[in-house]
Amino acid sequence: MLLTAADIMTTRVRTVRPDASVAEIARLLSDNGISAVPVCDDQGHILGMLSEGDLLQPVGKENPTKRAWWLNLLAEGSEVAPSFLDCISAENQLARHLMVTPAITASADATVPELAELLVHHRIKRLPILRDGELIGIVSRADLVRALARTPDTIAEAL
C-alpha cells in the first residue's frame, strides 16, 4: 500500500491573510518553528505561499542608502518624502506583495512518489494539501524523508 499525502502531512497548518505585515509573518514563522506559510483569503482559499526567503528578498535587494532611479525620477530633483520611503520599506510590505503565486498544491490522495515529483519539478520545499479546494494540511520535504525512513521498501516499489 502506497502512502499518501493524508498519511504523512502536517495537519495543523498556520496561515496568514494577504494583508499580514512582514513583522507579523516573521513572528508567526519564528514562534512556530516553521519556514513558510500559505496565504489564504477570508474563505480559506489558498492564494499563494510565503517563505523565509520571500520575506528576505526586499531586504537584500538594495542598499538602504541608495535610492532606486525611479524614486529620483518621482522626486524630480527634490527630496523624497520620508513617509513615502517608509511606505515602501521592507517592514511595511504585505503578504500579498511578497507571496509566490500560484501556490503549487496536491490532493490528499497524492502518493509519496507524486508528491516528491511535484517538489522536485517545481523546485519547492513544501506542498499545501487540499481536499475539495480546502486546505487540510501541508507536506514538506522533511515529511517525505520521514516517510522514506519508515517504509523505504513500499516507496521504492512505486518508483
Residue 145, all three cell numbers: 524523508
Q: What is the mean pLDDT of the chain?
A: 81
DSSP type of residue 77: T
Mean pLDDT value across residues 39-61: 84
- Run of H or E residues at 88: helix 82-88
The pLDDT value recorded for residue 137 is 96
Length of the chain, in residues: 159
* Backbone dihedral angles phi then psi of residue 107, each to the nearest 5 degrees: -90, 160
From the list 97, 102, 103, the residue with the least C-alpha distance to 128 is 103
Alpha helices in the chain (DSSP H): 5-8, 22-32, 52-61, 69-75, 82-88, 95-98, 112-122, 141-150, 152-158
Least confident of 8-17, 125-134, 146-155: 146-155
Tens digit of each residue's pLDDT (9 = 90 or more) over 64-122: 444 454 444 455 555 555 554 444 455 568 999 999 999 999 999 999 999 999 999 99
Predicted model pTM: 0.74
The pLDDT value recorded for residue 149 is 85
The pLDDT value recorded for residue 147 is 86
* Backbone dihedral angles phi then psi of residue 47, each to the nearest 5 degrees: -105, -30
Residue 159 has pLDDT above 50, yes or no: yes
| More reliable by pLDDT, 7 or 91 | 7
Query: Which domains are seen in the chain, by residue range?
Result: 5-158 (3.10.580.10)
